[in-house]
Amino acid sequence: MSGQNQRLTVVPTVTMLGVMKARLVGATRGHALLKKKSDALTVQFRQILRKIVTAKESMGEAMRASAFSLAEAKYVAGDGVRHVVLESVRSASLRVRSRQDNVAGACRAAHVRAIEVLVELASLQTSFLTLDEAIKTTNRRVNALENVVKPRIENTIAYIKGELDELEREDFFRLKKIQGYKKRELERQRQAALLFAEEQFAERIALKKGISVGSAHGLLAAASDRDDDIIF
């Protein structure tokens, strides 16, 4: 039988046996539901992990694009190179018409895209951590039900059944003992009744024949022996 620390402390009764069986059914159902929940969370966890990997790759591309667009904007909008060329030339041999493209909008769009990817990545990482904690909590509950709660209830049920069987055996032997006592008591009462009847009969014979009660008993014993000889 299991030790006290591996089962619940209960009174071994039929009612408690029913309660423990109901608790075992509830624990089994709870274990199955939590196991399904853990599996579903694990699937969602892996999906988010794949999204995080994709977002990190997108973030690298977005950061490179934003850095390149910023460098391009600085280059186009800057005056350093143009001033050096103009100072070394007094009169232009050729005249060209130059214009500046509006690269600020492209730079802004690249940085906005990079920020959006960063926000998405931060959101995914937050969901990742939340799911990780939820999976750990659920798995702890699954393990507790599987390795602690259910075994204790099962051991308690086995303990109650063993105690009830022992009580049933004790009741059987007690009943058998009582029946034996009643049988012996009935036999004693029957013998006492026979002895009383014999005494009464001997007294009547003694009064009728005018002899002592002891002599009457002797006559009855002799008559009984003759009857036995006749029978056998």
Tell me which residue has tokens 């006592």. Answer: 181
- Give pLDDT, residue 70: 66
Q: Does domain 14-89+101-169 have CATH number 1.10.645.10?
A: no
Tell me which residue has tokens 């204790």. Answer: 152
Question: Residue ranges of the domains in the chain?
Answer: 14-89+101-169, 183-225
- Give pLDDT, residue 200: 72
Q: 86 burial class (0-12, 13-18, 19+ CB within 10 angstroms)? A: exposed
Is residue 10 within 8 Å of residue 160, measured between CB atoms? yes
**What global pTM score does this model have?**
0.54
Q: What is the pLDDT along the chain (232 residues), one digit of tens a residue?
A: 444 458 888 888 889 999 999 999 999 999 999 999 999 999 999 999 988 888 888 877 777 777 776 666 666 655 443 444 445 445 554 454 544 445 455 566 777 777 888 888 888 889 899 999 999 999 999 999 999 999 999 999 999 999 999 888 888 888 888 888 888 888 888 888 887 777 777 777 666 666 665 666 666 666 665 544 433 3
Q: 18 burial class (0-12, 13-18, 19+ CB within 10 angstroms)? A: exposed
In 10-149, where does DSSP find H-type helix?
14-77, 80-87, 104-144
CB neighbours of residue 231 within 10 Å: 6
CB neighbours of residue 160 within 10 Å: 24
- Give pLDDT, residue 220: 62
- Give pLDDT, residue 85: 42
Question: Residue 54 contacts by C-beta under 8 Å, 6 or more apart in sequence?
Answer: none
Cβ burial 109-134 (10 Å sphere, 16+ → b, else e): ebbebbeebeebbeebeebeeebeee
H or E segment at 92?
none
CB neighbours of residue 192 within 10 Å: 10
Question: Residue 149 contacts by C-beta under 8 Å, 6 or more apart in sequence?
Answer: 27
Q: 206 burial class (0-12, 13-18, 19+ CB within 10 angstroms)? A: middle
